[in-house]
Chain A
Amino acid sequence: MSPLVAVQCVTKSYGRGSTAVKALDSVSFEARLGELVQLTGPSGAGKTTLLNLISALDRPDRGEILVAGANVTSLSLAEAARYRNEQVGIVFQSYNLLPQLTALENVLVPMIPNGRMDRDRALELLDAVGLADRGAHRPAQLSGGEQQRVAIARALANDPVLVLADEPTGNLDDENARNVMALLCRTCRGRGNTLIIVTHDRDIMHTADTVFELRGGIIAKVKSNCHKGTPGPNGHPANDSHCRR
């Protein structure tokens, strides 16, 4: 079975010359359809950078990222937007809900490019995240946990094959964090979405199929719970020797 996401020898640096910082150094890994992948590691390890590259919000210096067999590292701005709209759902740490829209309208936003805003589906998604009765509320009228649940519903609006979550519980208290994390994992599992989640949450390590630990821009450690995840193209867990520098 071919992987849904294949990250191949990806390198990304920020800054130039002597101030350049290597955020990712020849990182490779794969994730299959329906797999739940956790990216963990200390701050500055390159987790968010990796998610940004997979979601085509940024471009790597070297390497390729294949999603459903298509290289997403060379997409134009418009193509990248279309790719995200059709295949990717993103859950941001800071929610990034549009403040003037209601919860329901926020869930409808990703449907705008399709030209068909399915209110029933949006309501169904809000119901799935336990916010059926808060559809008319604006983000400012919702708690942090509720806002993040709206963001999860929004990420699932177009039924993407891939959901990327960047520290979705980073701004939440413990109880809310647990609830949101459980909801995200449960929802993605239930819908068969591939979920790549950046989190420090230790509890999810038991739930995730594969856990990659990033350190200093390389994959330092891999833990596979059910042998679904594949650490690298040749089974190599981290910065592979086959990557040309």
Chain B
Amino acid sequence: MIWNKIIFGGLGRRGFEAVVASLVLGAASALVAGSLIVIEGGRYALTQAERDDRPEIVQIRSRFNRALFETPRSGNLPPLTLPVYEPLIEPEQLSSATGDATIVARQSLFRNVVSGDRFLNVYIFGIDPVAEAHVSSFSLIRGRFLRPDDGVVAILDDASARALGVDLGKTFPVRKADGEDLDLTVVGIIGKLDLRNAPPRTVEAPALTQGSSFVSSGVFVTLHTSETIFGRTTLTDALVVARTTTDVPFLVDSLREAFRLEPGVFVTERYSQFSRKVHDFVLTLTLFTLIGAATALLAGLFAANLLHDVYADRRRYYATLIALGVSPARVALAGLSLGLAVAFAGTLTAVLMSVFFRPAEFALPSLMANLGAIEPRFDLSVAAAMAAIALAAVALGISPTWWRLLRHPMATALSENGR
């Protein structure tokens, strides 16, 4: 109790300045916190965009990614096999062009599948189960995902499974390139599919996402099985994941160089667009940071000056305590406690108000318009910045007083009147 009185009491007229310092710090903190939570929101939006865009992924695809098309075997017409478009991406050629980047190889086929008395157009994808899982999202509602050592098994989306009338453990035939049927056993049913860089949806087929212009369903088998169906090892498309985004330009050049003699092979990347987005973000971020920093600096200095007045007025008070035998460290702690209480009272109130009254969404100017409206976010870095401003103001406020107390004889401070 007595110690609390020693810390916070005896401010006299300087008590008003302490309150003003607290208010100034509060106002500055509110403004800075407002800027920072918008910045953090923008940073989060960019992280989201990076996660969605995956700018480190380069797609390489051949023009004809439909390997084979058959008319139904039932009916009056004889089965008709359309010409096979030879995919042009040789796995070895791709490997040599990509260096240490990760290759997510794919074979994409389109088949008429007959199951019992039904037939269906389905997309069949030969994938590397491990690599594909790192770029695409498969939500299975039943069964399991593919394994690298799987044989003639398949997972397929729920819509296709229902259309084919198959379920876990059942089989359905797929016509191979040699004209024979291969029975695939269903080991998993997909409830939701997010296939990265999915091919465009060109014909009527079951779909998990209605109205989508991209394929949102299909039968997935291992590359080994799809090569058996396809009769070839060449790829229809592949994703190449660069180690870092900065490697992307070099990787794209390398791929274009490797496939320069193949006019039907296209290399596409999103890094250029993404880097423009980043550039825009950095500009906006800089603007907000400058506003925040300038505000924090000016208000922090003003608050520090007010605190300095408070401390300077208490120099004799602190000297008296030391003269009475209270240890200097304990007196310093008392001084710091006062400053921290003043600073954090304002800062904490302001931060809470900023968080409480922040808008649900904040539409940034055109610089970041392509990110859409961002949601202001309060996180540890904002809290740390606020604490740093308060601490800096207290440190600046108390330093001159404490410096004079330490550097000059205590008798000097005791003989002072006020400052």
- Which listed segment binds A: B57-65, B101-109, B324-332, B388-396? B324-332
Q: Is A20 an interface residue (CB 8 A)?
A: no
Contact yes or no, A109 B323, CB < 8 A: no
- Which listed segment binds A: B210-218, B225-233, B404-412? B404-412
CB-CB contacts below 8 Å: B372-411 with A: 406, 409-411
Contact yes or no, B6 A81, CB < 8 A: no
Complex interface: chain B residues within 8 A of A109 (CB): 2, 6, 321, 324, 326
Complex interface: chain A residues within 8 A of B5 (CB): 100-101, 105
Query: Could you list some 5 contacts between A and B, CB below 8 A?
Result: A49-B411, A77-B322, A84-B324, A85-B325, A154-B324
Complex interface: chain A residues within 8 A of B2 (CB): 101, 105, 108-109, 112, 117
Complex interface: chain A residues within 8 A of B327 (CB): 78, 81-82, 113
Interface residue from B12, B326, B414 paired with A81 (Cβ < 8 Å): B326
Interface residue from A58, A99, A113 paired with B409 (Cβ < 8 Å): A58
Q: Is A59 an interface residue (CB 8 A)?
A: yes
Q: Is A110 an interface residue (CB 8 A)?
A: yes
CB-nearest residue of chain A to B328: A77
Contact yes or no, B323 A96, CB < 8 A: yes
B residues at A contact (CB < 8 Å)? 2-3, 5-6, 9-10, 12, 316-317, 320-330, 406, 409-412, 414
Contact yes or no, A113 B326, CB < 8 A: yes
- Complex interface bits, A83-94 against B, C-beta within 8 A gives 1, otherwise 0: 011101010100
Q: How many A-B residue pairs lie within 8 Å, measured between CB atoms?
A: 84
The list of the 8 closest CB pairs from A to B, nearest first, reads A85-B325, A100-B9, A58-B409, A52-B411, A57-B411, A100-B10, A58-B411, A57-B410
Q: Which of A81, A85, A100, A117 has the most CB of B within 10 A?
A: A81
CB-nearest residue of chain A to B12: A99
Q: Is the interface of A mostly helix, strand, loop or mixed?
A: helix
Contact yes or no, B325 A82, CB < 8 A: yes
Q: Is A40 an interface residue (CB 8 A)?
A: no
Complex interface: chain B residues within 8 A of A100 (CB): 5-6, 9-10
Q: Please give the number of chain A residues whose Cβ is less than 8 angstroms from any Cβ of chain B in the complex.
A: 32
Additional A-B contact list (15), CB under 8 Å, known A100-B9, A101-B5, A110-B325: A52-B409, A57-B410, A59-B409, A84-B324, A90-B323, A96-B414, A98-B320, A101-B2, A101-B9, A105-B2, A108-B2, A109-B2, A112-B3, A112-B330, A113-B326
CA distance A85 to B322 in the complex (A): 9
Complex interface: chain A residues within 8 A of B6 (CB): 98, 100-101, 109
CA distance A55 to B3 in the complex (A): 24
Complex interface: chain B residues within 8 A of A55 (CB): 323
Q: Is A158 an interface residue (CB 8 A)?
A: yes
Contact yes or no, A84 B414, CB < 8 A: no
Contact yes or no, B317 A113, CB < 8 A: no
- Given the interface pairs A100-B5, A101-B2, the reply to whether A81 lies near B409 with Cβ below 8 Å is no
CA distance A55 to B321 in the complex (A): 14
How many Å from the CB of A95 to the closest CB on chain B? 10
CA distance A100 to B412 in the complex (A): 23
CA distance A101 to B5 in the complex (A): 7
CA distance A109 to B328 in the complex (A): 14
- Given the interface pairs A52-B411, A117-B2, the reply to whether A85 lies near B324 with Cβ below 8 Å is yes
